[in-house]
Amino acid sequence: MTVTANPTVTTIGGRQVHVDAEGFLTELSEWDEDLAHELAQLIGIELTEEHLEVIRFLRKDFAEKGETATTRRVQVVGGIPVQRQFALFPQKPGKKMAYVAGLPKPHGCV
């Protein structure tokens, strides 16, 4: 898998996408589940249907609320316990879930 970058455009999985300095997509319309698989591979995650359920929740919630859900919101509203989020997206689940979902980092996420 080749990843090349300049300040705002990078190539992931053979297609160009717009990103910020940390690699998060800036054009939400460029995201699809195929790209999600590519993004997940870049951070060492092999997506399963369970991962995709979390990602779909994040995308739906973002469309409704206009901001990326925190791990707490994913637990309370999405029904996915924080412990499970850590199991699916180790170490920094909020940041990793948002990255794979093609969304901005949640507020308060470093």
pLDDT tens by residue, 34-70: 999 999 999 999 999 999 999 999 999 999 999 999 9
Q: Is 94 part of a structural domain of the chain? A: yes
pLDDT at position 36 is 97
Q: Is 22 part of a structural domain of the chain? A: yes
Q: Structural domain of residue 56, as residue ranges?
A: 3-101
Beta 9-12 vs 15-18: how paired, if at all? Answer: antiparallel
Which is nearest to 27 in space by CA: 103, 109, 107, 106? 103
Mean pLDDT value across residues 82-89: 97
Distances (CA, A) of 1 to 11, 29, 91, 105: 10, 22, 23, 24
CA angle, 60 as apex, 56 and 65 as ends, to 5°?
145
3-state secondary structure of 66: coil
pLDDT at position 106 is 86
Does the annotation count 109 as an active-site position? yes
Of 42, 43, 52, 109, the catalytic one is 109
Give this prediction's pTM: 0.89
In the predicted structure, residue 3 carries a pLDDT above the cut 80: no
For the chain, the average pLDDT equals 91
pLDDT at position 70 is 94
Alpha-carbon distance of 11 to 85, in angstroms, equals: 28
**Based on the structure, what is the number of domains in the chain?**
1
Q: Is 34 part of a structural domain of the chain? A: yes
In the predicted structure, residue 9 carries a pLDDT above the cut 70: yes
Distances (CA, A) of 57 to 6, 16, 23, 28, 110: 31, 25, 21, 15, 22
